[in-house]
Amino acid sequence: MSAQGTPDAAGRTAGESKQTPKGAWTVTFLLFLFMVVNFADKIVVGLAGVPIMTEMKLDAEQFGFLGSSFFFLFSISAIVVGFIVNKVPTRWVLLTLAVIWALAQFPMVGTVSFTTLLICRIVLGAGEGPAFSVAAHAIYKWFPDEKRTLPTAILSQGSAFGVILAVPALNWVIVNHSWHYAFGALGIVGLMWVCAWLTFGKEGPLEDTQVLAATEPKIPYLHLLTSRTFIGCAIATFGAYWALSLGLTWFTPFIVKGLGFSQSQAGFVSVLPWVFGAIVVILTGWISQVMNARGYTTRISRGVLGSVPLIVGGLILATMPHVTGAGLQIALLVVGSGLCGAIYVVCPPMLGEFTPASQRGAVISIYSALYTLSGIIAPSVMGTVIQRAGTMLDGYMTGFTINAVVMVGSGVIGLLLLWPNTEKARLTRGAAAQAAPLKGVVSPT
């Protein structure tokens, strides 16, 4: 029988596995909206940072701690849920996560203490920790490997559009009503997504992880998690997420308190990095898919394509303290931080390239848990630096310089380590070598 007619573990032929099933793009769009809600939830504290600090009389260190608190259970939750989705359909896991997000917002509608706000952010972070990795795992059940980069880019775009769409709307609520109602609005939007997912959300037909778990060869998790590409993805994305977590927590306060813009003006300025980042993400996904189609190795079309923008972005951020003028500083911050988006597009497909499907949910979730640790560190570091600086603007500039060093260093490490094509061959050979002796064993009679 030809390779074209050889059935895979799920009972499909190789030729059939390359087809995108009907409904794949509907689910992709719903998961894009899932990430829109996810990042709207994340940005609201940063957007309302000045009113929150004013009402609760918080200093920079306290607000930095509040920003970091979102990530206290983020990584732990991502790992736990990552192993769960190896066994449980992603449809129900995604639904549960979205319900947690919505319910965590409503306590902020009334009078709230700092402790209550802190606890709700920790709970929200626990619910949102697994979001991207579970959504990516769900999408990969609808698309074969060579077609995954573009849907991953669209999924990643949800982060940018979550900010682009939410910032003007939420800022209007904050300016004209109260920051408390901004949280309530997000809770309602979260419940609306839950209803849409219950109606239209489905499990992808290309992979049945329970069937695959019983039939496909396993690679020890130690080998997967110590592979150079996994390590490179975790470190490179750690640097990118440092910039993202600062953007979520500190960008709007920087615009208002550091550069002197009003809260209304800050609402417009705050979307600029995300607009530029959205362009970077879509271009990266499209370019990567075109390069794959033209025969480039994934070392180039994914590894290099994701790492180089991270290095360039860090070098651009490093120039911020050495220029004058709010407009130029904002432009450098927008471009420098926006270039980070490329790495989010290429890393999940790289991990999926060499990870067995029945283990992929856990591996991508562990990757997510590791890189989002920078979300705990970065906001607190910025708050401490601002608190101890001679002037507030000097503190911000020092914080952004630290960000630049982290980005360049992580980008260089990523450039050196991201070799998914050779990783796949090496790990597959290792799994085959382990299985070979078992085939030669004859049962005693």
Q: Which architecture does CATH list for 21-199+208-430?
A: Up-down Bundle (1.20)
Q: Residue 257: what pLDDT?
A: 87
Cα dist from 374 to 49, 199, 258, 407, 440, whole Å: 20, 36, 23, 11, 48
- Asked if residues 330 and 273 have their Cβ atoms less than 8 Å apart, the reply is no
Cα dist from 411 to 55, 152, 246, 303, whole Å: 39, 20, 18, 10
Q: What is the C-alpha separation between 217 and 223, in angstroms, rounded?
A: 14
Question: pLDDT tens, position by position, for the chain (445 residues)?
Answer: 333 343 443 344 433 446 778 889 999 999 999 999 988 888 888 888 889 998 999 988 898 889 888 888 988 998 899 889 888 889 999 999 999 999 999 998 888 889 999 999 999 999 998 998 899 889 988 888 778 878 888 888 787 787 788 888 888 999 888 899 999 999 999 999 999 999 999 888 876 555 555 566 788 999 999 999 999 999 999 999 999 899 888 888 899 888 988 878 887 888 888 889 889 988 998 999 899 889 999 999 999 999 999 999 999 999 999 998 999 999 999 999 999 989 998 998 899 889 988 888 889 889 988 998 998 899 999 999 999 998 989 999 999 999 999 999 999 999 999 999 888 778 877 665 665 554 444 434 3
- Asked if residues 156 and 344 have their Cβ atoms less than 8 Å apart, the reply is yes
Q: Residue 29: what pLDDT?
A: 93
The strand pairing partners of 117, in sequence order, are: none
Q: Residue 329: what pLDDT?
A: 94
Among positive and negative, which fits the CA dihedral 27, 28, 32, 35? positive
Which own/partner contact pairs does 14-23 have at CB distance under 8 Å and 24+ positions apart?
A: 17/144, 17/206, 18/144, 18/146, 18/147, 19/144, 20/142, 20/143, 20/144, 20/147, 21/142, 21/204, 21/205, 21/206, 23/142, 23/202
- Asked if residues 89 and 208 have their Cβ atoms less than 8 Å apart, the reply is no
Q: Residue 214: what pLDDT?
A: 57
Total-model pTM = 0.75
Distance of CA 23 to the CA centre of its chain: 24
Among positive and negative, which fits the CA dihedral 356, 28, 22, 201? positive
Domain boundaries of the chain, sorted by first residue: 21-199+208-430
Amino acid, res. 381? V
- Where residue 57 falls (left for φ over 0; alpha for ψ -120 to 50; beta otherwise) is left
Q: Residue 208: what pLDDT?
A: 58
- Asked if residues 320 and 368 have their Cβ atoms less than 8 Å apart, the reply is no
Q: What is the C-alpha separation between 210 and 9, in angstroms, rounded?
A: 11
Q: Residue 269: what pLDDT?
A: 85
